Amino acid sequence: MPASLNNQLVVAISSRALFDLDESHKVFEEQGLEAYREYQIEREETVLARGDAYNFVEKLLRINELLGEQRVEIILLSRNSADTGLRVFNSVQHYGLAISRAAFCGGQSPYRYVNAFGSHLFLSTHAEDVRQALDKGIAAATLIPSPAAVSHGGELRVAFDGDAVLFSDEAEQVYQQSGLDAFTRNEQSAARLPLSGGPFKGFLSALQQIQMEFAVNECPIRTALVTARSAPAHERVIRTLRAWNIRIDESLFLGGLEKAQFLAAFGADVFFDDQLGHCDPASELVATGHVPHGISNNKS
């Protein structure tokens, strides 16, 4: 009987998100594919430094150890060939990461395998791959280079923006087309009407399923909603999560305040937002994924 990834949280991640391959990529861009191939083979025993998503992945895999069973699966996706990708797998083994499944695509985009693996989330440094995964209904984000992707203890802490990430962008459309006053009136009148789900609803739900397997005071995962909304637009968000039967541990309604310092205070291992205007300052303090979804990313 074939193996199955059913009942597991599946996260697909590109090799450049997991490890620091900037120097190697520079060789590829400046000298071409053959020079890149030689560069990687010559250094295949040289361990790669940790990338922006390394801490996130390491903490996810730790959940399997805590539960004593395989509940999280990390899939490595790469534009490398298997030949040049040997250095990546050697680095995986060096760090003791329990990653055994991979797709090395020989220069082509690996996004087409995201759905085949049944992934709940795809993280990459390649924006077009991320967009195509989102078009297929998969939560996906482009990792922005961060000088401060550090680990904050053993607990996995994941922060989400609301509109166009956890929720659809229906309310954000009102805001951008008609302004703040119209947005506030709309959210007050629709306070008891749940928002439609955004691209990260399924990933948050899958995270919560794992959270429920732990006692409340022993759970190694903590989630946060970090939104520019404020009262009275908060009510619709709260009622939407309640209607979805999804619990989020912390909710920050910032009323337009800059998010970066709050994310640092939360100790986010990763933060997901649809607006680059929020992602860029956040990435100075925490690992940040841009979600190119919704009206903020559809402007000509």
d(CA 161, CA 154): 23
d(CA 73, CA 71): 7
Residue 104 tokens, joined: 């090395």
Q: Choosing from 52, 129, 161, 163, which is the catalytic residue?
A: 161
- Is position 161 annotated as part of the catalytic site? yes
Q: Where are the beta strands (DSSP E) in the chain?
A: 9-14, 72-78, 101-104, 121-124, 139-144, 156-160, 221-227, 250-253, 270-273, 288-290
DSSP 25-59: HHHHHHH-HHHHHHHHHHTTTSPPPB-TTHHHHHH
In this structure, the strands spanning 270-273 and 156-160 are parallel
Residue 5 tokens, joined: 């990834």
Residues annotated as part of the active site = 161
